[in-house]
Amino acid sequence: MSQTTPIKRPSVFGGAMIIAGTAVGAGMFSIPIVTSGVWFSGSTLMLVYTWFCMFMSGLMLLEANLNYPVGSSFHTMVKSLLGNIWNSINGLSVAFVLYILTYAYISAGGSIISHTLTSVFSINQTMAGLLFAILVAFIVWLSTKAVDRINTILIGGMVITFVFSVSDMFVQVQPEILFNRNESNAEYLPYALAAFPYLLASFGYHGNIPGLAKYYHQDAKSVVRSLLIGTLIALVIYLLWQYVIQGNIPRSGFKQVIAEGGNIGNLLAQLDNGVVTPLVKQLLNAFSYMALASSFLGVSLGLLDYIADFFKFEDTPAGRTKSALVTFVPPTVAALLFPDGFLYAIGFAGLAATIWAVIVPAMLARASRKKFPQATYHAPGGNVMVYFVILFGLINIVAHVASTLNLLPVYE
C-alpha cells in the first residue's frame, strides 16, 4: 500500500518577509511629510484604517485566487469572474502600476548606487541603474524562494538599522511636540483626505499574492499568516517612524521641509539640531537603500508572476527567462532614457493601484462566492466587509482626483 508523502511547505516567516519587504519601501520617508497636516494622532488612526482595509482586500484576492489553478494571476481571475471589460481595465492598472514602480526603483537605485560609490570610483547613474536592474532580474528569475531568502536578509538589515537609528530619537520624543500642544486652534481634519493615497501605496503588496499561493501549494492558512505578519511588520515600522519623527520635529517645521521639496535630505535636515548624529544619518541611509531593494524585489516578482500568467509562460528556466525579459526590459530601457523620473512615476501609480489592489479584489471575492459556493476559504466579514473595502477604495479615488485638480487643502 503506497503512502503519499506530505508536501513540505516553506516557512510562513519567509512569505511574511516578501510581503513586508514589498510594502516597506523608500516611500515610507514621505509618510511623516504627507501626514503633517493631520499630525500624529490623526495619522495613527489613518494608518491603522488603511492597514486593515488593505489586509482585508488581500484576503479577498486570495479567496478568489484559490479557486483557480496554481500560478493563476489577475488576468485569469478577473477575466473569469468579472468579464472582458473589467479584465482590460484591471490588466492596464496592474501592468501600469507594476511597470511604473519597477521603472521607479531602477531609476532610484541607479541614483543611490551612483551617489554612494562616488567616493570609491566614478560610475554614472545610467550604468548603475542598468547593473542594479540586471542583479534584481537575476534574483527574481531564479525563484520565489531566492526572493524570500534575499528579502529575509534585507528585512533583517532594515530592522537592525531602523532600531539603531531611531533608538536615540525614541527617548528624545517630546509629548508637547508629538501631540502639538503648543499650537492653539490647530486644524487637522481638512488635511486628512489628501494623505490617503500615499498611505494606500505604503501597503501595496497584492501583486505577490498569486505567487505566494503557488509558493505555499494553495495552503490558505500559510498565506493568510504571511499576509498578517508581513503587513503588521509594515504597520509597526510606520507607527514607530511616525512616533520618532513627529515627536522630534515640530509640526511647523514641516512647512520648511515641504517648501524645500519634501525629500529625505530635507527631513533629516530638520533633525540636525542635536537630535541626529552623523552615524544615525548613515544608518537611515542604509535603511532606505535596503527598503528600496526589498520593495524592488517584491514588486518585480509580482510583475513577473502576472506576465507569466498573461502570456502563459511555463515555470521552467526557458519560460522564466521569457517572463523576466518582458518584465525587466521595458522599464530598464525607460530608466536609461529618463533616469530622473522616480517621484513622477510614484505619483502616477496611486489611482491605478486603488483599482487593482482595493476595488477589484473586493469585486472578485463577491463574484467568486457566487461562482464557487463550495469554496473552502472565505475572507472574513461577508458582503459587509466587501462593501467596506470598496468604500475605502472610493475614498482614495476621490482623494486622488481632487488632489490632482488642486481641490484639497494641503498643509504647507
What are the residues whose beta carbons fall under 8 Å from the beta carbon of 170, sequence distance 6 or more?
240, 243, 244
Query: What confidence category does residue 2 fall into, taking pLDDT thresholds of 50, 70 and 90?
Result: very low
Kindly report, residue by residue over 341-386, the tens digit of the pLDDT. Answer: 665 666 667 778 899 899 999 999 999 999 999 999 999 999 999 9
Q: Is the pLDDT of residue 3 over 60?
A: no
pLDDT of 329:
94
What integer is the mean pLDDT of 268-287?
72
Q: Residue type at 212?
A: L
Q: Residue type at 222?
A: S
Residue-wise burial string across 87-106, b where 16 or more C-beta atoms lie within 10 A, e elsewhere? bebbbebbbbbbbbbbbbbb
Query: What confidence category does residue 45 fall into, taking pLDDT thresholds of 50, 70 and 90?
Result: very high
For CA atoms 253, 197, 51, 23, give the dihedral sign: negative
Query: What confidence category does residue 263 fall into, taking pLDDT thresholds of 50, 70 and 90?
Result: low
% of the chain with per-residue pLDDT over 70: 90
Q: Is the pLDDT of residue 6 over 60?
A: no
Rounded Cα gap, residues 293 and 116, in angstroms: 14
φ/ψ of residue 175, rounded to 5: -55, -35
Taking alpha carbons only, the member of 19, 58, 93, 112 closest to residue 335 is 112
- 15: Cα within 13 Å, side-chain hemisphere: 26
Taking alpha carbons only, the member of 170, 175, 70, 132 closest to residue 332 is 132
Supply the mean pLDDT for the chain: 86
Rounded Cα gap, residues 311 and 313, in angstroms: 6
Kindly report, residue by residue over 85-137, the tens digit of the pLDDT. Answer: 999 998 888 888 888 888 888 887 787 777 667 667 777 778 888 888 999 99
In this structure, are residues 112 and 318 in contact, taking their beta carbons and an 8 Å threshold?
Answer: no
Q: Is the pLDDT of residue 290 over 90?
A: no
Q: Is 83 exposed, middle or buried (0-12, 13-18, 19+ CB in 10 A)?
A: exposed
CB count within 10 Å of CB 138 equals: 12
Task: Report yes or no on whether pTM surpasses 0.85.
Answer: no
Q: Is the pLDDT of residue 299 over 60?
A: yes
The grid coordinates listed for 116 are 554612494
What are the residues whose beta carbons fall under 8 Å from the beta carbon of 97, sequence distance 6 or more?
204, 207, 349, 352, 353, 356, 357
pLDDT of 51:
97
pLDDT of 1:
45
In this structure, are residues 199 and 46 in contact, taking their beta carbons and an 8 Å threshold?
Answer: yes
CB count within 10 Å of CB 253 equals: 18
For CA atoms 349, 27, 260, 132, give the dihedral sign: negative
What integer is the mean pLDDT of 234-259?
88
% of the chain with per-residue pLDDT over 90: 37
Rounded Cα gap, residues 242 and 43, in angstroms: 8
What integer is the mean pLDDT of 214-221?
92
Q: Is the pLDDT of residue 268 over 70?
A: no
Kindly report, residue by residue over 146-166, the tens digit of the pLDDT. Answer: 888 888 888 888 888 888 888
Q: Is the pLDDT of residue 184 over 60?
A: yes
Q: Is the pLDDT of residue 253 over 50?
A: yes
Which alpha helices (DSSP H) does 202-316 contain, by range? 209-215, 220-246, 253-259, 264-270, 278-311
Rounded Cα gap, residues 399 and 285, in angstroms: 31
Taking alpha carbons only, the member of 60, 4, 43, 37 closest to residue 375 is 60
pLDDT of 219:
93
In this structure, are residues 161 and 1 in contact, taking their beta carbons and an 8 Å threshold?
Answer: no
The grid coordinates listed for 316 are 521552467
pLDDT of 207:
84
What integer is the mean pLDDT of 379-406?
93
CATH code: domain 12-405 is 1.20.1740.10
